[in-house]
Amino acid sequence: MDYIEKILPITKVKKEFLDVIKEMTADESTITVTKNGMPVSVMMTPERYEGLLETIEILADPKIIKALTASAKDFRAGKVSTHKDAWAD
């Protein structure tokens, strides 16, 4: 999934709300809504929102972060397995 962010003024969002929602859903974009040129709101699909919450949950878990850090260290050290090796009986 490609990350697409759009910035739209609140007047356009108000006038074209249904079209904005349809377009946001179709291209899975995140929309920053501005008022007088300043960001005031963010609109995103439920899937993107759920993914964001899941990411926050993962990053808040010290055990997961410790495991990811160890994995990254192993990878940099060349301690890796091929797909074939990992799934061999």
Which residue from 54, 45, 43 is spatially nearest to 7, judged by alpha carbons? 43
Residues contacting residue 34 through CB under 8 Å, at least 6 positions apart: 7, 8, 9, 10, 40
Q: Do residues 10 and 35 touch, judged by C-beta distance below 8 A?
A: yes
pLDDT number for residue 11:
97
What residue type is assigned to position 78 of the chain?
Answer: G
CATH of the domain spanning 4-44: 3.40.1620.10
Provide the residue ranges of all domains of the chain, joining segments of one domain with +. Answer: 4-44, 47-78
pLDDT in tens, the chain (89 residues): 456 689 999 999 999 999 999 999 998 889 999 999 999 999 999 999 999 999 999 999 999 999 999 999 999 999 888 888 888 86
What does residue 5 show for φ and ψ, rounded to 5 degrees? -120, 135
Q: Give the pTM.
A: 0.67
